[in-house]
Amino acid sequence: MKNILVTGGSGFIGSNFVIHMIKNGSGCKIVNYDLLTYAGNPDNLNGVKDDPGYSFVKGDICDQSAVKKLFDGNNFDAVVHFAAESHVDKSITGPARFVTTNVLGTQVLLQAAKESWANAGDTGSKRFIHVSTDEVYGTLGETGYFTESTPLAPNSPYSASKAGSDLLARAYFETFGFPSVITRCSNNYGPYQFPEKLIPLMITNALHDKPLPVYGDGLNVRDWLYVQDHCKAIETVLNNGAAGEVYNIGGNNEKCNIDIVRLILAELGKPESLIKFVPDRLGHDRRYAIDASKIKRELGWEPSVNFETGIRDTIKWYLANGGWWKKLL
């Protein structure tokens, strides 16, 4: 894949993916299409902004004319679609924005890519990677794992909107033979994550000796995936994934929220008295856990960074890059 459209490439996972692809020697060209909402940060890409293989276009995935113009002006080999509203708390207070961006925006992109690639007469070599989340599966009990065949049962407006976009990507494959591929990842962490999410919020609050808010009893479990491992998985799917397939991407790192908070405090030398339990979030899923055996078996990918290493590297990054996150607060 030599000419790739990345939507939401100025966000957390998107920017890490752009940096990974530009610096891995693949020789690809990246067009980053991003509206630069609050979580899209051009500073994430300072290290590659002058690279001849990188270009940026500001725009909205819901803007049909702008998206069509983008495809008309470029011969994209692939689309990697990250752009989405993703903060669950915000979806509870304002669901409409999530439906508009995540569902309608995805449909606009699918249709533009379909028309562009059909006109070029070559869809077999193309790929549309729709980056989704394990949250579309709902919640698990104390045992079991999400597989690619687990029924979708989203419990928040955010996850419902992502499930809707997943189904559109699937429908375009089933109806039109469109080369869409869906990936569903577990919770990501690492550099450039906006400080509203659990790990960067706990790090930045602790550094300011502010209370660390923990929902409910803190025993909600998530499978944590280091963002650079996720980027390598998406590259693997981009190059070798089969059209119409779903691939779960997990980190094999199940952790309770409270254990992560305590680990961060210990690493920073801060007291656990900073922990403040707050009323639980509405519809808060109890446990997520990914079975990523399919992508390992069929494509040869598996995570390489364990949580203990990844979280320490992440803490070090936030300590070394205060200039990046302090202005976001």
Mind listing the pLDDT tens digit of every residue in the chain (329 residues)? 599 999 999 999 999 999 999 998 778 999 999 999 998 999 999 999 999 999 999 999 999 999 999 999 999 999 999 999 999 999 999 999 999 999 999 999 999 999 999 976 667 789 999 999 999 999 999 999 999 999 999 999 999 999 999 999 999 999 999 999 999 999 999 999 999 999 999 999 999 999 999 999 999 999 999 999 999 999 999 999 999 999 999 999 999 999 999 999 999 999 999 999 999 999 999 999 999 999 999 999 999 999 999 999 999 999 999 999 999 98
Q: How far apart are CA 308 and CA 316, in angstroms?
A: 13
pLDDT score recorded for residue 27 = 86
Three-class DSSP category at 289: coil
Q: How far apart are CA 24 and CA 42, in angstroms?
A: 20
Three-class DSSP category at 171: helix
Q: How far apart are CA 268 and CA 312, in angstroms?
A: 10
Q: Cα(first)–Cα(last) distance of the chain, in Å?
A: 37
Question: Annotated catalytic residue: which of 158, 226, 247, 318?
Answer: 158
Q: 232: part of which helix (H) or strand (E)?
A: helix 227-240
Compute CA distances 327 → 26, 41, 185, 193, whole Å.
34, 11, 29, 14
Q: 203: part of which helix (H) or strand (E)?
A: helix 198-207
pLDDT score recorded for residue 119 = 72
- Note if 158 is an active site residue: yes
Question: Annotated catalytic residue: which of 77, 135, 166, 285?
Answer: 135
Burial of 98 (0-12, 13-18, 19+ CB in 10 A): buried
- Note if 134 is an active site residue: yes
CA 73 to chain centre: 27
pLDDT score recorded for residue 122 = 66
Question: Annotated catalytic residue: which of 134, 229, 254, 291?
Answer: 134
Cα–Cα nearest to 180, from 123, 99, 254, 96:
123
pLDDT score recorded for residue 120 = 64
pLDDT score recorded for residue 25 = 73
Give 3-state DSSP helix, strand, coil % of the chain, rounded to 5: 45, 20, 35
pTM: 0.96
Q: How far apart are CA 85 and CA 267, in angstroms?
A: 31
- Note if 272 is an active site residue: no
